[in-house]
Structure 1
Amino acid sequence: MARNASSEHRLPQLLGALCERLPEDRIAAVEHIFEMATGPDDVLVSRFIADQSAAGLAHQLTEIIHAWRAEAPGLTGAGLALALATARSSPRPKPAQVVISGPLSASVPARLTSGVVIEVIRSAATSLLIASFAAYGAQDVVEEIGDAVDRGVQVDLLLEESTQASAAFRKLPKEVQVWHREGAPGVLHAKLIAADRHTAFLGSANMTDRAFFENIELGVLLRDPRLVEPLVEHFHWLLAPGSGVMRRA
């Protein structure tokens, strides 16, 4: 009986999907576990999977183990680690990723808002653009922004004046530029973090501890410059003196 063609290629597809989801250091950690494993039923692997807290990641890794056992039972852990390393090194477009705050679903791959915010800020090499309607607490984020300034990143904070959001960032260096909406009936309600022109996080979450850890929030992480550049250009236009939309605080 002929095997289903899609099942024959399930393991490579699952490894590729894992590489698309995780940053380099996390993929390297998975490779290390696979390399030490004797096979798909090694307790080392099952313990590693059980320790994963990111939404849907344990399920994703379990699917890889099931495919390893069904499709390549003779493949060593070192062999699987090499396959994952090969997939990681192959250039591929990075798809958008779902980002959430609140309850986690065990079967839906998603990432947590708090971790994504830090990751995007750390990825900035030259510029960081942040827009938020409200801001309160979020000291880890404030510290990361300060670290970005220390490494020479230009930071622009677009904040809603009526919520006094700028108070959350008062300890940041003077090099940080804070912007408010210029006299208009509407408010600045956008939530965006853009690193350079390559990565952006946008969604419903404000820059607050409740939005990062308690509320039910939804967002998306974009790592495609073709999508990120128009976002950055739009906000640069908003900040331009001739637009009359934003003013320096």
Structure 2
Amino acid sequence: MTGTGAGHHRPDGTRSSPRVPAGRGHGRPAQLPSRLAALCERLPQDRIRALEDLLTRLTGPDDPLLGRFTVAQSAAGLSRQLEEMTQAWRAEAPDLPGAGLALVLATVRALPRPQPVQTVVSGPLSPAIPVRLTSGVALEVIRSADAALLIASFAAYGAEDVVAEIAAAAGRGVEVDLLLEESTHAAAAFSALPAEVRIWHRTEAGAGVLHAKLIAADRHTAFLGSANLTDRALGDNIELGVVVRDLKVVEPLVEHFRWLIGPANDVMRRV
């Protein structure tokens, strides 16, 4: 029987083991391990578990369940990654059951792993690299704050989903600081937020502008990029950013902006 992961019957009645990935031709390394590693690197823990659950139900790379799951993915580039994983599985280990791949994912998930920098874009999407959309990432980072949220933007307009998410954060007790450029009237976009949300402007109007774009949740996650908090920047403009989850990078970054709003330093004033 093939395609079930049971291996093949030998003439003496015993079964051979399912084939596992091996390099093919002139020492070419197997692609399946790297495809699985890339999925583990990209997906959060809950999404990896969901993929594991799917894989345990698959008989092989041509199982229709996998095809339907792949087509249903809306995250930019994820369907392509799954297709590449499936192609490598079919080429290198077609007799390996999905449960074998699920075990690999579970093993990687159980190990401590560095949090990679994640690419974020607005505007047209290409299949070149796995990316996430600015609008969704901004909301996700705001939502992940437990105690403190620090946001800097040169301009702000519309962005109702972002404003609503900031209000929700303040409602659950998160301390919110918004550092905004006064000359763009960015503060007007947040006029509906509760009074406990602190808004800050530069103290010296002629000493340059606040041009930074940052969303920092507590001290664990920072979203840095070119996009302002406007509808066009979050969705239509060609913008680029990264999400950083390395505490060694995020903590001093947050400390710097906390220093900027420190009253003794006379850099920012509360509006």
State the TM-score, normalized to the length of structure 1: 0.93
Secondary structure of the residue aligned to 2:269 is strand
1:209-237 CA-to-partner distances (Å, cap 9, x unmatched) read 11111111001111111111121011011
Secondary structure of the residue aligned to 2:114 is coil
Greater radius of gyration (CA)? 2
Whether the 8 Å contact between 2:223 and 2:244 is mirrored in structure 1 is yes
Q: Which amino acid aligns with 2:63?
A: D
1:19 to 40, 47, 53: 40
Find the counterpart in structure 2 of residue 80 from structure 1. 101
Q: How far apart are residue 22 of structure 1 and its match?
A: 1.9
Q: How far apart in 2 are the matches of 1:136 and 1:124? A: 22
1:71 to 84, 92, 95: 92
Alignment partner of 1:54 is 2:114: no
Secondary structure of the residue aligned to 2:29 is helix
Q: How far apart in 2 are the matches of 1:170 and 1:216? A: 27
Alignment partner of 1:105 is 2:126: yes
2:64 to 43, 46, 69: 43
1:197 to 219, 223, 233: 219
What does 1:234-245 correspond to in 2, within 5 Å? 234-245=256-267
Secondary structure of the residue aligned to 1:41 is coil
State the TM-score, normalized to the length of structure 2: 0.86
Q: Which amino acid aligns with 1:114?
A: S
Q: How far apart are residue 128 of structure 1 and its match?
A: 0.7
Q: 1:2 to 1:103 in 2, by over 3 A?
A: closer
Q: How far apart are residue 2 of structure 1 and its match?
A: 7.1
Find the counterpart in structure 1 of residue 7 from structure 2. none
1:30 to 34, 51, 60: 51
Q: 1:38 to 1:157 in 2, by over 3 A?
A: same
Whether the 8 Å contact between 2:40 and 2:108 is mirrored in structure 1 is yes
What does 1:1-249 correspond to in 2, within 5 Å? 3=24, 7-8=29-30, 10-185=31-206, 186-249=208-271
1:28-52 CA-to-partner distances (Å, cap 9, x unmatched) read 3322332332211122212222222
Q: Which runs of 5+ in 1 are unaligned?
A: none
Q: Which runs of 5+ in 2 are unaligned?
A: 1-21
Decide which moves more: 48-57 or 236-245: 48-57
1:82-126 CA-to-partner distances (Å, cap 9, x unmatched) read 321222222111111111001111231111111111111111111
Q: How far apart are residue 176 of structure 1 and its match?
A: 0.8
Q: How far apart in 2 are the matches of 1:6 and 1:201? A: 38
Q: How far apart in 2 are the matches of 1:175 and 1:7? A: 57
Q: How far apart in 2 are the matches of 1:182 and 1:199? A: 28
Q: How far apart in 1 are the matches of 2:246 and 2:191? A: 32
Whether the 8 Å contact between 2:149 and 2:174 is mirrored in structure 1 is yes
Q: 1:5 to 1:94 in 2, by over 3 A?
A: farther
**RMSD of the TM alignment (CA)?**
1.8
Decide which moves more: 39-48 or 202-211: 39-48
Identity, in percent, stands at 66
Whether the 8 Å contact between 1:16 and 1:88 is mirrored in structure 2 is no
Structure holding more helix per residue: 1
Secondary structure of the residue aligned to 1:200 is strand
Q: How far apart in 2 are the matches of 1:2 and 1:76? A: 19
Q: Which amino acid aligns with 1:246?
A: M
Whether the 8 Å contact between 1:15 and 1:87 is mirrored in structure 2 is no
